Structure 1
Amino acid sequence: MNLIEKNSLKFIFLLGLVSLFGDIIYEGARSIIGPFLSLLGASAVVVGLIVGLGEFFSYSLRLLSGYLADRTNRYWLMIFLGYGMLLAIPLLAWTKSWKLACFLIILERIGKAIRTPARDAILSHVTERMGRGIGFGIHEALDQIGAIIGPLFLSFIFSLKKTYQTGFAFLFIPAIFLVIFLSLAKIKYPSFVSIEDKVFFKKEKISKNFWIYTLFSFFTVAGFINFQIISYHFKTKMILSDINIPVFYAIAMGVDAIFALLIGKVYDKFGLACLLILPFLNIFIPFFIFTSYTSLILVGITIWGSVLGIQETIMRAAVADITPLSKRGIAYGIFNTIYGLAWFLGGGLIGFLYEISLNYVILAIICLQIISLFLWWKIKI
């Protein structure tokens, strides 16, 4: 490994730690947002709408923030602003109104939309020499470690007989570490903007291959069962207890983190070709998940976590390999918007069909994955 690759690895690790502490804050809060809003007087309908609206903003606004990142070259400004809005979560400690709490929750999701395209654009540039697959894989692995620590951290706080407000206040601790590591990353890699200046005014276009790839991703993700539906199934069918459901989610997050590193290395060797595995894995998931046998469910959860690891690493890395540098911010914005739309529409469709029959759910997933397979063959590998 040469000096450039070593410096790139150090930077990726720093940015990965930023995401780790960011996920401790957000994922930790997400595990208690529902009961907290209920405590403040919000109805179940309000909770569902606010969570859905927050996720919609988190993805749809990335198109605008990606465009602004490319247009202004203020990548670091967008990143600092976006991560700064994470402070909305610890501020929930002093919130006594569910309306104000909802505002802060949505504000944090808007921050996610602001920072993500700019961050991914920088990551795509830094990982070019060492391999984007492994680079994004390392970042995702650290990110998922935070997703596991966050809920466990708050669970520990509650074990000390503390309140929700105390739990949110303690999230200022990872927020401080986030600012420290983000500042170190900026110091470590300050020249990104000057490098971008050399290519900014090139009249490059986003290729047709990018749009085909994005459509492939849309149908693949739309046919991927989200964990809210999975956990709903476990709960309503009394397959797993309330204690075991989050344990299975933690297992999935652990698989995600490990698989992100492995698939990243595979991607650097085989490129877009390795994405062919996604539709096939998605088809198998419902056959394992929707059973009453714990051993088979564990297999299904393992596959589910593996798919999530692929989606959040090489799906992101591939965008950089099929788009010009000067359009990368907006390309990530477009991709993330379509990705979020797939989660929203796919989740709604599967949830609707679940109320009718599990057979319809399986049939819909198979159809969506067949379409994604057709689109995969159209991608220029």
Structure 2
Amino acid sequence: MSRRLAPGGVDGTSDVAGRGWSPWRVVVGFGVVSLAADMVYEGARSVYGPLLASLGASAVAVGLVTGAGEAAALLLRLVSGPLADRTRRYWSLTILGYALTALCVPLLAVTPLLGGAGMAVAAALIVAERLGKAIRSPAKSALLADAAARVGLGRGLGVHKALDQVGAFAGPLLVAGVVALAAGALWPGLAALAVPGAVTMLLLVVVRARVAAPAAADAPQGDAVPRPPARPAGRVSLPARFHWFAAAMALCTAGLVTFGLIGFHLVRAGVVATATVPLLYAAAMGAGALAALVTGLVYDRAGPWVLVVLPALIAAVPVLTFGGGPLLAAAGVLVWGAAVGVQDSTVKALVADLVPAARRATAYGVFAAVQGAGALAGGAAAGGLYEHSAASLVVAVAVSQAAAATALVGILAGIRTARRG
């Protein structure tokens, strides 16, 4: 049974499992919130490619919009992460970010009705939804990492990601079902995501009430977060090894083709029907959940060397998805989902291990910003390369992942040497 801490903790830290919740219950609570939220934005992301194509977008435009969205979700955490640590308003930022996502996604349903303005409005809403992710993610990750560290970072973040992926699986299925009933029209499926959006906000209120420390909500001394040590958090340097790891993961992010471009290709090339695209996305999310659980367990037992599988997964995606018929494409989508699952769980476990606890939100923000630069460059390049030829995209991704794997091996070897020392 998990040890129950008094408010303030045994080491002067605030107890993230406040009001009697154990660390595992906190992990599961955040997981359930993420489950509902993922139904919303992953349901929408499963049809971004076909939606933008129906609004007149080219492959380059799809790559730019989806890449810009991912860049916004990552780069802007460079601001929201330090803001969370400095103001300690972790819960305010978490709630604001979820609210923005719950609002923007259902509004995408009106874009097919806007004529020539539909493309611009859709692009703005996609980027705004990702902005919500940027606002909430470092703050939520800091809260979650504090609880997960008490049960094993790999396992805790893996279980959270698995719950998260249940929603990422269910959301595309909901969209696919509604789109099929609507004879292929996308807007009813997007409108239906307003329901899990409302559920997300209700669940978040419940978790906030249970996890909050007894002090006044959102006060600096009352937020359910790790308190900094005697040395102010803002003056604690992030280690150089963390920055090198972030750079290696940026190469991985740049090489991971967005699902928007994958979906665009599958529909334009006639590989699958439009209604099948969200079904494939749902299957990818299931693969991501399994990958997160497996690599999380291996991480806790054998260490971060499990991450060397990530560049290999990413390099395989374009080979499969752009290289053949429906079966190869489905395999490529599953590999894509597994890569996303590892990125969103086990990679974050190593970030938490590399930095001081009081700087985790800042570290997650910096890490995401570096990945965001990779996402923006990779999204734009992937669209252009795809328009030139699928083969050139395959080669470019393979080269980037060879470089990422080389850098990652060197970083992990350095970590092992430092720990032995």
TM-score (normalizing by structure 1): 0.86
Contact 1:217/1:372 (CA < 8 Å) preserved in 2? yes
Distance in structure 1 (CA, Å) of the matches to 2:88 and 2:342? 29
Contact 1:38/1:44 (CA < 8 Å) preserved in 2? yes
Matched AA of 2:347: M
Contact 1:288/1:296 (CA < 8 Å) preserved in 2? yes
CA RMSD of aligned residues (A): 3.2
Deviations 1:124-171 (A, max 9, x none): 111001111121112222222212222332344455659877655543
Partner residue in 2 for 1:196: 226
Matched AA of 2:57: A
Distance in structure 1 (CA, Å) of the matches to 2:261 and 2:297? 31
Partner residue in 2 for 1:120: 141
Between stretches 44-53 and 200-209, larger displacement belongs to 44-53
Matched AA of 1:174: P
Contact 2:96/2:136 (CA < 8 Å) preserved in 1? yes
Pairing 1:374–2:395 present: no
Partner of 2:223, secondary structure, is helix
Pairing 1:280–2:293 present: no
Q: 1:248-267 residue pairs with structure 2 within 5 A?
A: 248-267=280-299
Distance 1:235 1:108, change over 3 A: closer
Matched AA of 2:227: D
Pairing 1:110–2:125 present: no
Gaps of 5+ in 2: 5-16, 214-221, 417-421
1:153 pairs with one of 174, 181, 190: 174
State the 1:322 CA deviation.
0.4
Partner residue in 2 for 1:61: 76
Between stretches 148-157 and 132-141, larger displacement belongs to 148-157
Pairing 1:183–2:205 present: yes
Matched AA of 2:193: L
Distance 1:284 1:88, change over 3 A: closer
Distance 1:369 1:73, change over 3 A: same
Partner residue in 2 for 1:230: 262
State the 1:103 CA deviation.
5.0
Partner residue in 2 for 1:309: 341
Contact 1:61/1:113 (CA < 8 Å) preserved in 2? yes
Deviations 1:196-254 (A, max 9, x none): 33427153210001011011101122222333333344344433343444333322221
Contact 1:73/1:193 (CA < 8 Å) preserved in 2? yes
Partner residue in 2 for 1:9: 24
- Tell me the percent identity: 34
1:144 pairs with one of 147, 165, 170: 165
Query: What is the number of residues matched between the two proteins?
Result: 379
Deviations 1:66-85 (A, max 9, x none): 01001111111111111122
Deviations 1:253-289 (A, max 9, x none): 2111222111111111122211112223333344433
Higher percent of residues as helix: 1
Partner residue in 1 for 2:195: 173
Between stretches 54-63 and 210-219, larger displacement belongs to 54-63
TM-score (normalizing by structure 2): 0.79
Partner residue in 2 for 1:78: 93
Distance in structure 2 (CA, Å) of the matches to 1:179 and 1:248? 27
Contact 1:15/1:181 (CA < 8 Å) preserved in 2? no
Contact 1:218/1:339 (CA < 8 Å) preserved in 2? yes
Gaps of 5+ in 1: none
